Each structure stands twice: as structure tokens, then as C-alpha cells.
């Protein structure tokens, strides 16, 4: 493309990604341009991107841009973001930028506004995407899916919540905004799975550490598709977060919520976050602006809504306590250079066995020994300290994975989707992150995003 003096362009910039400039002159294959501070730059013409000269005007749909290139698209999104317009279309794709603050653009009034409206009738909004999925289901009689992807902290979890709230409110038996028992149960699964599957990372205070595909089931027998239930399929739960993480991060929310509300379940307990090795490894116990005890009460209420009674909850939380106690089982080298629990480790092992419902001797034997099968025979090998540590952590991760799977199953059984013929799927891909120390699960998550 040819340029001339006075053209508005974007040039690559290490700090800003792209820098807005004005062409001064063309010198062969190079462009000499200047920014708003009149700093001059010489850039190869092939690296220069043309943009609209009217930088004050932003469009709702990127396909309406005069120039379709990365720089022009990012400039348009930035202009809208500065006006607190966090949504922008690219045809039927919605680009959302996390505002990191509450913006009054959700709720029943906005839901009513977008019900039945085609994309483009109103400002870009996640409700419009949810409405389009429902209207497509209704008109084509075919199942639909919405994919929500992006890096960690982009706002995927909250976006999925808004989609679920819209569909639950619109597709139920009652009027918009009046949720029946089924729709409440569908929404109750969200705080439970967040508590057990989300965590604070260095980039995101509520990062989903698992992938989730939610199917909202519909019956198409009446005049309009009606929601009959839901099911959740999860994948790539970052179980290793329980036993280790980077400094400044937390394990799964539920452990801190449990400790904050512990005395409501176990009045005689005097435990603190620092008492547990698994919780203290990240050196981070709280999140600014988050009341873990309040969140714990929300989770317990949601569990009751899904039919998980208080006595079952107490068993579940006792099991989680057992995992924390298991993390306190420290080992030392015995006279035979094999592992044995330290004095405090033996005490923790006893407490863990009680909470986990395992005989203390059996648990001790499992942590200190490995069975090898060779030539049709079983050989028991006593583990050194390092391998005993790994066995303890592997056992804790295995149990937590089973707990999470049980919760997902409980959520699915509460809203089974009777007579379902079609569905709207919502795929929430876990966030892309690169840590100083990366778990295998994180590599898989990043690969999934790519």
C-alpha cells in the first residue's frame, strides 16, 4: 500500500504494541512519521498499518472499519473501552475487554431489552450473543454452542455467568426475571464449581483452574424451546495447585472459605491458615475485597439448593480437612535411609486418617511403601524421603480430583434434563498463563487455548 504525507498510521511499539503516528514523508521503502509529541520515527513501509484519520470515532462492529488490520482493530477496541464500552462485535463474534470494575449494564432490564433483538439493534452485549444462540435454536431446531476463550483474567468466568443468567431467565416457564426452581438449580452449580475449581493466581483473583462445557438442555415440544435441565463436563482440573503453587497465589478457594467458616462446622477448632503446609506454600491467604466466610455461606446455600444436605456437607468438608492434614505429614530419614514420619508428621497422619476415614496403619503403609509387580510376583519397596513426599502429594491430588468429580456429578443429578432434545453449549476454556513454574495441567490448558 502506498502512503503520503498526512496519512494516519500505526507503527509497531515495544511498550504500546502499536503507536499512533502521522506520515511526514516517504523515503524509498521507509516511512518517516511522528507521534503526538512530535518524536520522529523511521519505519519500513511493510511494518506500517493504515488507520482511519478520525481517531475520535469508534464503530460497534470491527467489520465496519475502513482498514481491516490488527492495529486498526485494536485502536477501535481501545477507543470504545475508554468510553466504558467493553463489548465490540466482529461480525457475530463478540470481543470483550475486562473493565476490572462493576459497570451497570446487566440485570433484568437489560435482559428484557435484548430478548428477541437481532445483533446490531442495540449496543454490543454478551446478552445479544446469548439471545442469538437461543433464537438460532428456536428457528433452526438445531443445538447451538458458544465458545468463551481468552487469556487468564480476560473475564471468561463472569461472561459465562452472564450467558447462563440470560438463558435461565429467558428460557424458563415464568416471565423474564422470575426464576423457577429448575433455573435456580442451574445457576446454583456456578458458585460451587468456582469454589472448588477456581483460585487466585498472579494475574487473576478468580482464575478457573479447569475447563468446563455446560449443556443447557431444552425441550422443543411446545411453542418455544423450554429449559429442562443442564449437565456439566469438566476437564484438565489443575490438581497440582493443591500441593504447590507460585508465591503470591492461593490453592482452590474452598480451602480458605472453609478455614474462614470453620468454627460454624467445628466449634472447637483453633486452626489457622499458617497451620497447614499446603496452604502456606503460596504465602497468600486472603484476596482484597473478598470475604471468604461470606463466600463460604453462599457455597453452602447453593449446595442445599442442589440437594446436598448439611450432614453430607460436613462429611465433605471433613474430607478436605483431611487433605490439609495430609499435607502436614512430614518425613525424615530413618536409620535404614528410608522415610519415616517425623514426630509432628505422625500426629498429622493420625488426624488425617480420622478425617479421611482410613485406618492409620494402612495410610502410613501406603505413604511409605510402593508395590512393584515383576515376573508374576509383588515386591514391596520402602520409599526414601523424596519419594514418600511425592506419594503423599499424589494421593492428596487423587482424592481431591475424586471430590471434584463427585460434586460435578451431584450438580448434574440435580438438574438431569428430562425429555431434553436439544441443547445450548457453553464452553469455558481455562485461561492461558505462563508461570515461573508451570504444572503439566497448565501446559495442557495453554495447548487447548492455542
| CB 174, CB 111: distance < 8 Å | no
What cell was used for 99? 473493565
Element (H, E) at 386: helix 385-414
DSSP 118: P
User: Annotated active-site positions, please?
Assistant: 152-153, 157, 204, 207-208, 431, 433
In whole angstroms, what separates CA 15 from the centre of its chain? 28
Element (H, E) at 190: helix 181-197
| CB 58, CB 66: distance < 8 Å | no
Beta pairing, strands 422-428 & 144-148: parallel
**Euclidean distance between CA atoms 213 and 108, whole angstroms:** 25
Which residues share a beta bridge with 211? 235
Neighbours of 311 (CB within 10 A): 8
Q: How far apart are the first and last CA of the chain?
A: 31
Residue for grid cell 502456606: 280
Among 264, 262, 287, 288, residue whose Cα is nearest residue 275:
262
Beta pairing, strands 40-44 & 49-50: unpaired
In whole angstroms, what separates CA 192 from the centre of its chain? 13
Among 255, 196, 162, residue whose Cα is nearest residue 409:
196
Residue 104: burial class (beta carbons within 10 Å; 0-12, 13-18, 19+): exposed
Q: How far is CA 341 from CA 6, 41, 333, 335, 362, in A?
A: 76, 66, 9, 13, 14
Amino acid at each position: 500500500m502506498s502512503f503520503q504525507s498526512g496519512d494516519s498510521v500505526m507503527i509497531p511499539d515495544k511498550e504500546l504494541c502499536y503507536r499512533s503516528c502521522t506520515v511526514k514523508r516517504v523515503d524509498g521503502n521507509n516511512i518517516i512519521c511522528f507521534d503526538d509529541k512530535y518524536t520522529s520515527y523511521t519505519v519500513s513501509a511493510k511494518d506500517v498499518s493504515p488507520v482511519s484519520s478520525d481517531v475520535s470515532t469508534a464503530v460497534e462492529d470491527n467489520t465496519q472499519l475502513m482498514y481491516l488490520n490488527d492495529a486498526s482493530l485494536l485502536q477501535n477496541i481501545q477507543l470504545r473501552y475508554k468510553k466504558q464500552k467493553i463489548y465490540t462485535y466482529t461480525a457475530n463474534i463478540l470481543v470483550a475487554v475486562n473493565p476490572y470494575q462493576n459497570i451497570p449494564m446487566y440485570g433484568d432490564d437489560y435482559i428484557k431489552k435484548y430478548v428477541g433483538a437481532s445483533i446490531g439493534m442495540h449496543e454490543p452485549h454478551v446478552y445479544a450473543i446469548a439471545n442469538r444462540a437461543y433464537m438460532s435454536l428456536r428457528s433452526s431446531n438445531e443445538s447451538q454452542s458458544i465458545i468463551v476463550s481468552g487469556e487468564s483474567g480476560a473475564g471468561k468466568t463472569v461472561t459465562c455467568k452472564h450467558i447462563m443468567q440470560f438463558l435461565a431467565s429467558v428460557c424458563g416457564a415464568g416471565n423474564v426475571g422470575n426464576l423457577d426452581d429448575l433455573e435456580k438449580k442451574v445457576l446454583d452449580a456456578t458458585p460451587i464449581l468456582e469454589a472448588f475449581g477456581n483460585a487466585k493466581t498472579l494475574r487473576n483473583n478468580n482464575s478457573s483452574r479447569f475447563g468446563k462445557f455446560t449443556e443447557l438442555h431444552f425441550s422443543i415440544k411446545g411453542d418455544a424451546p423450554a429449559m429442562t435441565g443442564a449437565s456439566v463436563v469438566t476437564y484438565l482440573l489443575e490438581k497440582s495447585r493443591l500441593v504447590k503453587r507460585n508465591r503470591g497465589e492461593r490453592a482452590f478457594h474452598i480451602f480458605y472459605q472453609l478455614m474462614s467458616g470453620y468454627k460454624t462446622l467445628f466449634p472447637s477448632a483453633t486452626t489457622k491458615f499458617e497451620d497447614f503446609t499446603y496452604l502456606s506454600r503460596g504465602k497468600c491467604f486472603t484476596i482484597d475485597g473478598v470475604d471468604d466466610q461470606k463466600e463460604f455461606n453462599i457455597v453452602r446455600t447453593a449446595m442445599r439448593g442442589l440437594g446436598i444436605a448439611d450432614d453430607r456437607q460436613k462429611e465433605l468438608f471433613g474430607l478436605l480437612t483431611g487433605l490439609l492434614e495430609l499435607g502436614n505429614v512430614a518425613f525424615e530419614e530413618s536409620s535404614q535411609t528410608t522415610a519415616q514420619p517425623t514426630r509432628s508428621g505422625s500426629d498429622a497422619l493420625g488426624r488425617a486418617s480420622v478425617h479421611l476415614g482410613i485406618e492409620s496403619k494402612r495410610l502410613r503403609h501406603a505413604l511409605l511403601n510402593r508395590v512393584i509387580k515383576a515376573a508374576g510376583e509383588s515386591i514391596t519397596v520402602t520409599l526414601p524421603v523424596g519419594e514418600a513426599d511425592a506419594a503423599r502429594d499424589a494421593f492428596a491430588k487423587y482424592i481431591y480430583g475424586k471430590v471434584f468429580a463427585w460434586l460435578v456429578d451431584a450438580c448434574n443429578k440435580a438438574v438431569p434434563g428430562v425429555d431434553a432434545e436439544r441443547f445450548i453449549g457453553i464452553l469455558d476454556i481455562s485461561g492461558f498463563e505462563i508461570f515461573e513454574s508451570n504444572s503439566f495441567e497448565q501446559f495442557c490448558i495453554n495447548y487447548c487455548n492455542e
